[in-house]
Amino acid sequence: MRLVQGRNGWWCIGRSATALLPDGLVHNGDLTPEGRVQLRAAGIDEVPEPDHYSLTVVTSTGCNLGCSYCFQNTPDGRRRIAPARLDARNVARCLSFAEKQMAELGVRRLELLLFGGEPLLNPAGCLQVLRAFGARMPVTASMVSNGVLLTRRTAGRLAEAGLGHVQVTLDGERDQHDRTRVTRGGRPTFDLILANVAAAQQHTGLRFTLRVNVTPQVVPRLPAVLDQAAEVLDVRSTNLAIAPVLDYGAGVPAPDARAAQEAVEPARRRPNWVSGSSARVTTTATSAPRPTAAWARSSPRTARCSAAGTRSARTTSRWVSSKRATAPNPGNAGAAAVANCRAHKRSPTHSTPECSTSSVRARR
């Protein structure tokens, strides 16, 4: 385990989780006896036997949107990541890599995530990945997309190829969203995203997570966001993720822990989302402090690897019940390939409970 002093205490980085400790459990840069007892009980350094392998595949480093706050963009409009697309050769390399890793771990099931940039800028690559992996092993496949290119036809082809889940994002209610999440030509996207998701829900079996990015300006308008989305979407097959935005250097003000909690509570009470519905309302950073050097690091359990010899950037976007948050790592530009691979026991779609001890807050 490694200790790093932060603004609100000491971060203890274990092999399976990261915990925030009060100053009283650390003395002269080392754990006190009581600190060791509490961390042992929290189990942050225990590594369970994996029952699946998780693989994130970047099909395109490009994006069709020009969000002003995105860490991939610069104020003058340049992108920090060179354009690249996954091709058939690298699909084969990704497959070979995953099979080798899974054989060494002794697992057969794969959790596959299609990522970007915007993965649907390369729909052929998405289909190639889904079909190639699906033909060789049991796969649970998801995608993180902005939803603009997710037409009814594309959604149907992806579902037929094995995709099961898609996450899309809103940046607030319609007016707020359309000021920030716009195309590179400046066109709004709020209504288009919701219309595409609604059509996919109606004509495919795809499940959706609607992620709402929350800044201090969005907090008081969150009920309007949910009402506008519920007018279009089938909330029975939609999970809702509230995601307070952390400032990664773009000058976006970050809501503090209290503001994040305030954003969640109205969502939990919206009758059109929680009454008679299977929709779940959760947050990715309900009690997270502002990021520190330790918080911005990936868990030691996350092995970043690339079948093409490079690493692509990604933001934190954990599935609906996850409470872990990490900062983006732009990495090196290059061919799109495997961006992140993890082997672990708990599924990303399962909730991660807080530690039972009173002094240690652990995040997996």
CA-only gyration radius of the chain, Å: 20
Which positions ≥6 away from 104 have C-beta within 8 Å? none
What token pair was written down for 349?
Answer: 């779609």
- Concatenated DSSP letters for 249-318? SS-PPPP-HHHHHHHHHHHHH-HHHHTT----EEES-TTPPSP-TTTTSPPTTEE---TTS---------
For residue 326, what pLDDT is reported? Answer: 29
In the predicted model, what is the mean pLDDT of the chain?
74
Which pLDDT value is given to residue 272? 65
Q: Could you tell me if 143 and 166 are in contact, meaning their C-beta atoms sit under 8 angstroms apart?
A: yes
pLDDT, tens digit, 9 for 90 and up, residues 221-264: 888 999 999 999 998 889 988 887 765 555 556 555 566 566 56
Domains in the chain (CATH in brackets) are 1-48+353-364 (no CATH), 49-345 (3.20.20.70)
Regions of the chain short of the pLDDT cut 50: 275-279, 285-364
For position 284, what pLDDT does the model report?
53
> 264: which residues sit within 8 A by CB, 6+ positions away?
242, 281, 282, 283, 286
pTM above 0.75, yes or no: no
pLDDT at 297: 26
Q: How many whole angstroms separate alpha carbon 53 and alpha carbon 258?
A: 35
